[in-house]
Structures are given as C-alpha cells and as structure tokens.
Amino acid sequence: MKEKARAAKQEGRVLGLVPTMGALHAGHLALLQRARQECSPVFASIFLNPKQFAANEDLSRYPRPLEEDLAKLKAACVDGVFLPEALEMYPPGFSTYVHVERLSERLEGRSRPGHFRGVTTVVLKLLEIVQPNYAYFGRKDAQQAGMVQKMVRDLNVDTEIVLCPIVREEDGLAMSSRNVYLTEEERKAAVVLFRALKAAEEALHSGVLDTVRLQKAMRQVLDAEPRAKVDYAEVVDAETFEPVVQVGRRSYALLAVHVGSTRLIDNLLMESDGDGVRTVL
C-alpha cells in the first residue's frame, strides 16, 4: 500500500486516509464516504495501537473482526489498506513519543494517563508513512481530533485533518466499537449520554449560556440513571479544551460516562454567532 500511496503522490493525485483501530461500524464508513467524495485514491489503516491503552484498560478484549473489517473496506471501494504489525510501528528500542502540552492533560488525558501520547505518536507515524493530503477523523473523539489538528499545525505536517460529524444509532447513542461490550440493559441505559446532551441543548435554546447551569442540566439526567457513573461532564472551549464561564464562539459540552464496565464518550458542539447559538449533536 505504501508503494500505491507514493505513486499517487508522484502523479499529483489527492490522497485521503482514514485511520482506524478496526472493529468498523457505520461511523467509520461515513468517514470513508466523505473521503471518497474529496479524494482519489482513498486508503484506510487498521492498527490496534497498544501505546494508547493503559495496563488496566481493554486492549486484550478490544474487538478484532479483521475479516469482517476487510470485507467492509472492500465494499466501501477503498484503494488500499495499511495493516502494520506492532513491531513494524514500534521496533525494539523504540523510545520517541509526541506530547502535546496542556491539551493532553485535561479530561481524557487526566482520566487516561498516557493515552494521548500514544494517539499523537501513532497518528504522526501513519501520516509520515502514507503522507496523505487529507486525513479523516470523527467528531465523537473531539479532544483527540483537536489534539491531532494542533500537532499537525505545530509540527508543519503537510496533511489537513478533516473533522466529520458524529454518526448515531436511531435512539441517539453515538456509534463506537466499544458499544459491543454493553449488555442489553446497559445498552438501554447508555442512551442517557444523548439525553444529557439534549438537556444541555434545550437549556441553550432557552437562553442559558452559563456553563455551571448547563453542566448541572447534564448531571441531573446522568445522575438519575443508576447504571451510569460519570467521569466528567464539562463545557469547554472547542480549541483549547479549557473550562469556560459561558458558551463562547465555539464550545463543546463533553461527556465521559461508565455504563457498567464500558466507558463511553459523547459531545455537543455549540457555536455562537451573536444572533444565537447553533448546536450540533
């Protein structure tokens, strides 16, 4: 695949990359569809990156349906699939990592120490190997995508990061490879994340811009679900991911919630233009 990518660059074609850890779902396929609209050729990578999992996390049980994934990628008409082994990405003696200061130390970074160092390191390696013009990421992992965008800017990487909408189930649950961990009862309870974000959205549209009140609206919904244990429910600036007093020009309401043993994240994008607030779930 690397040879195909190099040939495409030499021919002056617009190359798109969709990095994944496998266990593909409709959210990944939406990224591929967007990439195909804007690029040719389009490549996907599947690499379950051990560097972004802590010792107590779910690397050993993370779903690995490789044959199903390859069939989905073939049906999506990708032009190539990069399937590196861990030793190829991290040879013996590997000791060089990418750390984005401040942005990697809050929220997900606080809850999952070392996670973002693993993410930014592997993404930089993938971008250097494939050298795409565009790389596509989903907005569900908003902080991760923001960190990758900052890394690309700071290190002058010649790839544009494209952030794509969240893809949801019919009841609003954001699609995630980890949803397969949920029992039937937990799956029903997991919709509480979407309902909490809807509560914040309704408060916004009624004129509430104060973040303490918005966070309270989300917590009231979350705390009423006995199967949910909140890690965080915060409103932050969409670029710095620092807390804000009130919704600004571009902000996120961010959630991380354990439902049973499964940790789920979701968010609401809020954009203010002076005439009101536009929300995107």
pLDDT digits (tens, 9 = 90+) for 2-35: 777 777 778 888 999 999 999 999 999 999 999 9
**Please, which pLDDT band fits residue 59 given cuts at 50, 70 and 90?**
confident
Q: Is 186's pLDDT higher than 90?
A: yes
Q: Is 248's pLDDT higher than 90?
A: no
Token look-up 């991760």 returns 144
Q: Is 61's pLDDT higher than 90?
A: no
Architecture of domain 177-280: 2-Layer Sandwich (3.30)
| CATH code linked to domain 2-164 | 3.40.50.620
* Cβ contacts of 216 within 8 Å, gap of 6 or more: none
Catalytic annotation on 28?
yes
**pLDDT for the residue numbered 193:** 98
Domain extents in the chain = 2-164, 177-280
pLDDT digits (tens, 9 = 90+) for 91-100: 999 999 999 9
- What does pTM read for this prediction? 0.94
Indicate which residue of 28, 99, 115, 258 is catalytic.
28
Q: Is 1's pLDDT higher than 80?
A: no
Cα-Cα-Cα-Cα dihedral sign, residues 197, 203, 207, 210: negative
Could you tell me whether strands 134-138 and 160-164 are parallel, antiparallel, or unpaired per DSSP bridges?
Answer: parallel
